[in-house]
Structure 1
Amino acid sequence: MRALAALLMLALLAACAQTTVVRTAPRGKPQAARPVSPPKPGSTALVRKGDTVYRIATTHGVSPLDLAMWNRIPPPYTIHPGQRLRLTPPDARRPEPPRPAGPTPPRVAGTTPASTPRPPAGTRPPSTTTSPATTPPATTPRPVPPQPVPPPAAAAFDWRWPADGALVGRFAAGDPTRQGIDIAGKSGAPVRAAADGVVVYSGAGLVGYGELIIVKHDEQWLSAYGHNRARLVNEGQRVKAGDQIAEMGRSGASRDMLHFEIRFNGKPQDPLQALPKR
């Protein structure tokens, strides 16, 4: 009996030693973006099989919405192999410096220009030494600082805050992941139109923005509302400032919040410069 009990204890210990605890990683948390240098003005990318707007944008360090607007890619943002996409705004292309009309003839060392007269025979040629006072000092050209880009003209209408909540993300020029502001809130909280306009996009075809709504206010201004839980408007629908157009959520985000962008001629602007103080 003692031998049998000992064998049972050994079997239980062996079974416990083979037990494995499996922990599932939390879902819904986006991976940290790999730092990428912004592309040089005039850069382009060739679309290959399997590419998407989101993949090309994140690979080259630009915003997916920027990439779609710079290349006038309409919803649902479909691209095709062989298509070449611009990676910078259209006006960021630098013109090539003008070339001279013809080649400049090279100067041959040791030759005397034809216009220089020779001194008479038996006379001493004048000294060609230049006085130090008459020699202009060598100067190094100073770099011309870049001219600041003037802010766009104020909109012909008033902006309203699109949601209530704490500001948890601010605009950062040149950062493709911070082209607007983030407003935290509860799931299902109302998301409202920031101004009168027409819904030009309502869908989830642009990866990285979740359930997205884009409202066009005039020929220059539009606003974007991302990470919604539910979209309450359709494309082509007219909305008034303050109308509820969506429910706040976390589609494509790690928390319940609204990602809000304002664009002037397709260029992202700091919404805090347009929205009223609160």
Structure 2
Amino acid sequence: MAASMMAGSPRSPAIWRASVWLGSLVVALLLAGCAPERSVRVEPAEGVELVQPGGEREGVYRVASGDTLYGIAFKHGMDYRELAQLNHIAAPYTIYVGQQLQLGQQRARNTLPPSASNAAGQAHTTTAGAKPPHPTARSGGVVENVIREPAPGKPPATLPPKAPATAPVAQPGSKPATAQVVPPPAATPSVPAAGKPAATAALPADDAVRWRWPAAGKIVGTFASGDPTRQGINIAGAAGDAVEVAADGVVVYSGSGLIGYGELIIVKHSEGWLSAYGHNRKRLVAEGDAVRAGQRIAEMGRSGASRDMLHFEVRRRGKPIDPMTVLPKR
């Protein structure tokens, strides 16, 4: 028995080292399985653009049906000439549905919803073995690219090799096929957002504009600089009362596409002056109409408001000013 123990003793260190090595390997594998999820940075592939949530890139407005350059500039507090210059648009400022207009970084930050604060190319977290989300279609046909990671221990999936193309074999006695040339489809012309161009009547200089009151009612709301809900004055009245244009000009917007204004009319009086008439019950003029001071352009109402009234704004070079500073005293 002593001889047997002496014979087995030389192999004991080797067995011990093998056991230690095997145990270390098991511990390492267990630790790898408990490793925290990895952060993978999604980089846009060549020719692919990541967009902000909501479908609009920061600093860009996509033209919708019924939009005008003046209405878009009015909505974003811009001078229409600045917006036209940014986008290389010449008079009469025709824009097209789906066209993307540059607004500038600061104005884009003020108009984007809170959910659009994520920057393109931010780090996305993926868990090994987890099923990635389906790509989401974005406005303008842009699709968010997704990186799929293989599960631990599995090789990355590969596409099967493409079968080589084989040339067709001509049958004896058959006639050779003739290729048919198909002409390319005719290009579809872009559709203007607004069908009627603005009138090209000569407008006076800024200092030649003469103002008058657009309605005869009592003032029930005053202007407050910097308050986006008080960029003009509110004049009370009854449903159907006359709304008159405050100075000679051309109608550059007539619609209901600007949230908070209801049925709205915007009139251009000179290169620097615009006036706006909101909450109407009925609009009586269309875009492109030339109007004269005192002309009835709408019927008073409460569209987008809690009472019958006219919301009247005056803007100089795109910036709201207190209408009381230009209207005559009464």
- Asked if 2 retains the 8 angstrom alpha-carbon contact of 1:199 and 1:213, the reply is yes
CA deviations over 1:113-142 (Å, ceiling 9, x no partner) = xxxxxxxxxxxxxxxxxxxxxxxxxxxxxx
Q: CA deviation at 1:204?
A: 0.5
Q: d(CA) in 1 for partners of 2:277 and 2:95?
A: 16
Matched, 1:245 2:305: no
Q: d(CA) in 2 for partners of 1:82 and 1:194?
A: 30
Question: Structure 2 vs 1, CA of residues 269 and 167 (structure 1 numbering), >3 Å: closer, same or farther?
Answer: same
User: What's 2:311 paired with?
Assistant: 259
User: What's 2:78 paired with?
Assistant: 69
CA deviations over 1:193-240 (Å, ceiling 9, x no partner) = 000000000000111110000000010111000010000000000000
User: What's 1:216 paired with?
Assistant: 268
Q: Secondary structure at the match of 2:312?
A: strand
CA deviations over 1:17-50 (Å, ceiling 9, x no partner) = xxxxxxxxxxxxxxxxxxxxxxxxxxxxx86426
Q: Which amino acid aligns with 1:49?
A: G
Q: d(CA) in 1 for partners of 2:265 and 2:96?
A: 14
CA deviations over 1:167-198 (Å, ceiling 9, x no partner) = 01111111111111000100010000000000
Q: d(CA) in 2 for partners of 1:253 and 1:75?
A: 31
Instruction: For 1:137-148, list aligned pairs within 5 A.
Output: none
User: What's 1:170 paired with?
Assistant: 222
Instruction: For 1:6-21, list aligned pairs within 5 A.
Output: none
Question: Structure 2 vs 1, CA of residues 194 and 224 (structure 1 numbering), >3 Å: closer, same or farther?
Answer: same
Instruction: For 1:190-209, list aligned pairs within 5 A.
Output: 190-209=242-261
Instruction: For 1:122-141, list aligned pairs within 5 A.
Output: none
- Calculate percent identity across the aligned residue pairs: 60
Q: d(CA) in 2 for partners of 1:78 and 1:48?
A: 21
Structure 1 residues not aligned, in runs of 5+: 1-45, 54-62, 90-152
- Asked if 1 retains the 8 angstrom alpha-carbon contact of 2:264 and 2:276, the reply is yes
1:49 pairs, out of 29, 50, 54, with 54
Q: Which amino acid aligns with 1:198?
A: V
Instruction: For 1:150-189, list aligned pairs within 5 A.
Output: 155-189=207-241
Aligned length: 161
Question: Structure 2 vs 1, CA of residues 250 and 78 (structure 1 numbering), >3 Å: closer, same or farther?
Answer: farther
Structure 2 residues not aligned, in runs of 5+: 1-50, 62-71, 85-92, 109-204
State the superposition RMSD in angstroms. 3.4
Q: Secondary structure at the match of 1:272?
A: helix
Q: Which amino acid aligns with 1:201?
A: Y
Q: Secondary structure at the match of 1:155?
A: helix
Q: Secondary structure at the match of 2:76?
A: helix
Q: d(CA) in 2 for partners of 1:236 and 1:160?
A: 21
- Asked if 2 retains the 8 angstrom alpha-carbon contact of 1:182 and 1:257, the reply is yes
Matched, 1:225 2:225: no
TM-score of the two chains, using structure 1 as the length reference: 0.51
Question: Structure 2 vs 1, CA of residues 204 and 214 (structure 1 numbering), >3 Å: closer, same or farther?
Answer: same
